[in-house]
Structure 1
Amino acid sequence: MDSTKIDFLFYSPEIEKSKCLDSVDSLHAVKVLRKKQGDIIQVTNGIGGWYRCSISDPNPKACKFDIIDFEKDYKAPKRRIFVGICPTKNADRIEYFIEKSVEIGISGIFFIKTQHTYPKKINLERFKKIAISGMKQSLKAYMPEISEMVSFNSFLKESSRFSQKMIAHLDNQATEITKTDLNAELLILIGPEGDFSKEELKLAKENNFKTVTLGENRLRTETAGVVAVSILNLL
């Protein structure tokens, strides 16, 4: 299927069961894009499914469609990239990271509360909406996992499922990320605006996180996240 001809990508996680767009996408399809009965739309389920559909009922509240054909694992990423990152004091900055990392290519985001993390909570629903928007904008078939914010210790326990774990931090043992042999699935940890504490760095190393550098420049949290995701997609 040629994605260059798609005017808009719709998201329906239960597509084969519902065969219907949600209220937001239905309104956009019918009122904004002026879609009519018989018009073709492209829909993804967010887990690699790529569906070409024909509108059967252009209801602006619940636009129904028939599935014409579909493709599994559409443009599956060569590498599954997961990022552990601390929310920034300015919410716009972490939202920028979410949007751009999804457009570039990311499989999951863990939000972490460290000693130097300022926000005590996050707006998870808003973050998910931003991720969905980024997925649609970049015509991707994969919706990344977006986690609720957890403590640093809880994150370390969850990280045990990854065989390759990295932490972006400059020390004497750090390796340039571009010179690192990468697995098909990996996790990279990005620090808060005030950096990790000595205790957190020690715990990360004890949990098999290898230190890597993203270059010589000091980067903001959200910039470091975008740079890391960009590099890991290109290598």
Structure 2
Amino acid sequence: MISKINFLFYCPDIQITNCLDTVDSQHCVKVLRNTTGDKIHVTDGNGGWYLCQITDANPKKCQLVILEEEQNYQKPCRKISLAICPTKSADRIEYLIEKAVEIGLHEVFFVSTQNTYPKRVNMERMTKIAVSAMKQSLKAYLPILHDYSKLDVFLKNTKGYNQKFLAHLDHKSQPLTAMKIADSPLIFVGPEGDFSESEIELINQNGFETVTLGSSRLRTETAGVVSVSLLNLLP
């Protein structure tokens, strides 16, 4: 592989189509001024990393040939899952997704609770942000983004997880930094207005262990970024 990576392109079906989509083709040819014969890096978002050569610098459909490939490229040591209650300001949750993807995580659940304000999440917008963050941080894995769901539906979908944390500061909480972290942890960060007592009880009944992220009261998006950072760094 060539040593310097100026830009990473995303093509989930690169081995079938051998070409970039319209958006990446335009950026590759018109913005970055790549021409036929130039070499570029492409990821399929599923651990595949490809060194490709441009065979037709078409700004609408840039054609490629794969020169080298590597699977499981820089595979993370953990599959980190984050459940988050969207904030009233879309900008803040978008910031969270961008930074969490750059740091590294496996999947994101968007969850509606009693004090969660938004009634919907723009999944198309979230996906675009995640793709952009993956390319910016030169990662080969695009996180799974689960559609917005109510709390009870989300909890039913967590039965297969063997380590589940609830980020909530109370007298029972243990510091996340004191926990032994498994290979596939799931952490749940609550809404701006916090969880109700009945919601906390329900979440705990579904196997979530209450943890703290420190002594400071954090905004939802800050808590999400801190959670993902700690789960990546803790032994």
Gaps of 5+ in 1: none
What amino acid maps onto 1:222 in structure 2?
E
User: Which moves more between the two structures, 4-13 or 37-46?
Assistant: 4-13
**What CA distance in whole angstroms lies between the structure 1 residues aligned with 2:166 and 2:205?**
12
Question: Which position in structure 2 is the counterpart of 1:159?
Answer: 158
* 2:95 equivalent in structure 1: 96
Between the aligned partners of 2:65 and 2:11, the Cα distance in structure 1 is: 13
Shift of 1:92: 0.2
Aligned-pair Cα RMSD in Å: 0.8
CA distance in 2, matches of 1:160, 1:146: 18
Number of the residue aligned with 2:148: 149
In 1: Cα distance, 2:171 partner to 2:77 partner: 31
- Residue matched to 1:182: 181
Q: Secondary structure at the match of 2:141?
A: coil
Instruction: Give the whole-Å Cα distance in 1 for the aligned partners of 2:39 and 2:198.
Output: 56
Is residue 11 from structure 1 mapped to residue 10 from structure 2 by the alignment? yes
Which residue of structure 2 aligns with residue 131 of structure 1?
Answer: 130
1:72-97 Cα shifts (integer Å, max 9, x gaps): 10000011100000110000000000
Q: CA deviation at 1:170?
A: 1.2
Structure 2 match to 1:81: 80
Mapped partners of 2:82, 2:160: distance in 1: 14
Write out per-residue CA displacement over residues 15-65 of structure 1, whole angstroms, 9 at most, x where no aligned residue: 101111000000000001111111000000001000000001110000010
- C-alpha displacement at 1:232, in angstroms? 0.8
* Structure 1 letter corresponding to 2:172: Q
What is the distance in 2 between the residues matched to 1:220 and 1:171? 16
1:97-128 CA distances to partner (integer Å, 9 max, x unpaired)?
A: 00000000011100000000000001100000
Structure 2 residue matching 1:232: 3-state secondary structure: helix
1:152 positional shift: 0.2
Superposed CA deviations along residues 155-180 of structure 1, whole A, max 9, x for unmatched, are 00011121100000112221100110
The whole-number CA distance in structure 1 between the counterparts of 2:138 and 2:97 is: 16
Q: Which residue of 2 aligns with 1:65?
A: 64
SS at match of 1:173: coil
Matched residue SS, 1:92: helix
Percent sequence identity is 56
Superposed structure 1 runs of 4+ greater than 2 Å apart: none
How far apart, in 2, do the equivalents of 1:72 and 1:170 lie? Answer: 41
Ranges in structure 2 where 5+ consecutive residues have no aligned partner: none
Matched position secondary structure for 2:157: helix
Q: Number of aligned pairs?
A: 234
1:35 corresponds in structure 2 to: 34
Distance 1:179 1:53 in 2: 45
TM-score (normalizing by structure 1) = 0.98
